[in-house]
Structure 1
Amino acid sequence: MYLWIHNTISGLQDIYNTSNIYDLYGYLEIEIIELDSSNILLRKNEAFYNRDYFGNEVVFIRNDLNQQYKKFVLAHELGHSLLHTHIYEAAFNKELLNIGKLERQANYFAFKLLNIDLDPIQFEGFTIEQIASSLYIPKSYFNVTNKI
């Protein structure tokens, strides 16, 4: 499933010899800007990725996230930056976009890049809330990922 995402991750790791999220952002020259959670740019989200017309890339992220969750969110946004490079061509016509699919792909990328394993035996008997909490991932991310 999603072999092309696995290939993207393998390529990153081969080229940069790391899967450290902060190192990858540095190598790819994607700026990380932390903002207060009430900042209007975040639109009540944890983060968002932006590429301008000059190719400058930045991720705006809340400054109050715990470290594990922050890594996941950054990996998710990196997924958008690498997997959805032509998304802005369709951004003016939202009907052309399958937002759920794009979010599932970015979540899948984050899970695989960070090597997060959803071992069914390890989590047997756990609720979705308990699994999400143990992985430092909000339930909303887990629910989207669960549909992959």
Structure 2
Amino acid sequence: MEWIDNIILGLVETYSTSNIYELCDYLNIRIVKLGSSSILLSKKDAFYNRNMNGVELIFIRNDLEERLEEFILKHELGHALCHPNILDAAYTFSNTGKLERQANYFAFKLTNIQLDKIELKGMTLEQIANYINIPYETIEQLYGII
């Protein structure tokens, strides 16, 4: 997925940050936090919309742990930048399609997680996911890619 790596490199070089809130601000993508029962989320953790009344938006649950929220926002930014032809995308832990794997890869790489094989030796994927604080389903999905 070198093309995604190149998008991330260009993004970080252009804006001198990998902070998701700053990037969304630079790119004019509004982040809107909603209660988990909001009809806009439809029982999802987040929802990206390319054009809602002329505005690009990421709706996200307001009760997520900070690092998980940041990872999910990076995932949604991945859709915005890697999939310009989609109008919207919803995030759940069970999404497994090609576009979802690419968005997860984008989020993982933008987070710049450095995996130390010695430190992680003997850990299960679930333990690794807990250790680096990303969803287990994401690390399981990316295991064959990274």
**TM-score, scaled relative to structure 1:** 0.85
Return closer, same or farther for 1:43/1:111 CA change in 2, 3 Å cut-off. same
> Is residue 145 of structure 2 the alignment partner of residue 142 of structure 1?
no
Greater than 6 Å deviation, 4+ residue runs: none
Query: 1:13-92, aligned counterparts within 5 Å?
Result: 13-52=12-51, 55-88=54-87
* 5+ residue gaps, structure 1: 92-98
Note the aligned Cα RMSD (angstroms): 2.0
Percent identity of paired positions between Structure 1 and Structure 2: 55
1:55 positional shift: 4.7
Q: What is the rounded CA distance, in whole Å, between the counterparts of 1:11 and 1:120 in structure 2?
A: 28
Q: What is the rounded CA distance, in whole Å, between the counterparts of 2:115 and 2:54 in structure 1?
A: 35
**TM-score, scaled relative to structure 2:** 0.86
Task: Count residues with an aligned counterpart.
Answer: 139
1:87 positional shift: 2.3
Q: Contact 1:51/1:57 (CA < 8 Å) preserved in 2?
A: yes
Q: What is the rounded CA distance, in whole Å, between the counterparts of 1:53 and 1:43 in structure 2?
A: 17
Q: Contact 1:111/1:117 (CA < 8 Å) preserved in 2?
A: no
Q: Contact 2:29/2:55 (CA < 8 Å) preserved in 1?
A: yes
